[in-house]
Structure 1
Amino acid sequence: MQIDLSGKQALVTGATGGIGLAIATGLAQAGAQVTIVGRSADKVDNAVTAIHQAANRSDCRGIVADAGTAQGCHTVIEQLPAVDILINNLGIYGGCEFFDIDDDAWEEMLQVNVMSGVRLARHYAKGMRDKGWGRIQFISSESALNIPSEMVHYGVSKAAVQGVARGLAKVLAGTGVTVNTVLPGPTRTEGAQQMIAEMAAERGVTAEEMEALFLQENRPSTLLKRFASPEEVANLSVYAASKQASATTGAALRVEGGIVESIA
């Protein structure tokens, strides 16, 4: 199968590192003209350079904006009025005991993880619908199905994302625009590696040993038995953005290593 996204304009939020950068790189390698969004000019510039080098092209661009806010989404839309592929990857997470999660923390989690994608999809989906082709993805998490007790607000936000995606897929039924969620599991991003390193230091083990311990203690149902790479997650996202994925919509696409105990 040859995925060719030549002539397609793609937008990826939260794409200066981790899964977002891997998705943006994969889309560029498949031929799409990619625009990434990040809050730091330096990080955006570095990510654009990395994509150019990996994809052997020079047409990737970056937008400096906080897409987790209404004003930031307005900035993105103003600079890039229309796209063919929208990847709502922006997200935050963090462990906190339920009784200590105050209203501000809930609000921030929902604004960044849910409303950022809602605002961008609300705008870009109309143009896709009018053209008769488009791809919208919300990057969710296996935590949407297995709500973690140590970060309930994060799991709830990801469950909400899947509800939005399923509902929007119904709104766009029959238009040629597909809407899906992608559910990664533990992934070896920069943030995850830092977290594992800190936990390893606390427990006096190596990072490799801590990664295995983390899975045993927190995700014992994993079938993959390791963290995924960002590129492995990106591969599924790139396929879902392709012309070949035209019959896949309204779906929760799992790339979580078999953690979820369900055959559905």
Structure 2
Amino acid sequence: MKIIEVKDYMEMSQKAAEYIIEKVCNQPNIKLGMATGGTPVGMYKKLVEDHQKNGTSYKKVMTFNLDEYIGLNGDNKNSYRYYMNENLFNHIDIDKKRNTFIPRGDIKDYNEECLRYEDLIDKHGGVDVQILGIGNNGHIGFNEPGTSFQSVTHVVNLASSTIQANARFFERMEEVPTQAITMGISTIMRSKEILLLVSGESKNQALHSLLNGEITESFPASILKNHPCVTIIADKAAIAGLKIHI
């Protein structure tokens, strides 16, 4: 693992954007694995700014999102399709219809959708760079503690801690989805590179467990220690006081 320590969230976002921009410039047809939530918003903003200022092109880039809530269609403002459109896709020159892929959360057969999405990733040769955040309980994507390291794209019941963390994005607690479709841990681990973004004091313990704890399914992110190419960008608040033994 390569660890890049930065001052704060803004610098983390800038460094992450620079990392992705360099990859896109060197490999115009790169396949990116996209994450949602609060952590990558700043990075997406910087990507948009760069595109508008410097003209970095995403016409040949293909994206695969980690997950989507069950029960939400792409027009719902809390869906991850809506999130990606609003934060990135609508503001760059990517082909949204042909080259951006997100699990569908509004269909009847979710197990069939999981198989379709996993096959779609495989059909296109897998993800080149997967962007990740880390949950306080160590989840990556929506792979909660106890998820098998061998898991592929699947339906998950969200942990209560994850539901609580997601509640800030919804007007009422009753609206927060309790299930999602997510790439599995083995799907994530097949990515050629992984970029993990960690920001804030609230993620300090999770980063400590990742870097210094054992590899265990009770802390899903721990499997990243077995990946050959992981870059972590963490701000001072997230990394404060950590003794790193990897």
| Same fold flag (TM > 0.5) | no
Greater radius of gyration (CA):
1
* Larger RCO: 1 or 2 (CA < 8 Å, sep 6+): 2
**TM bucket normalised to smaller:** 0.3 to 0.5
Which of the pair is proportionally richer in helix? 1
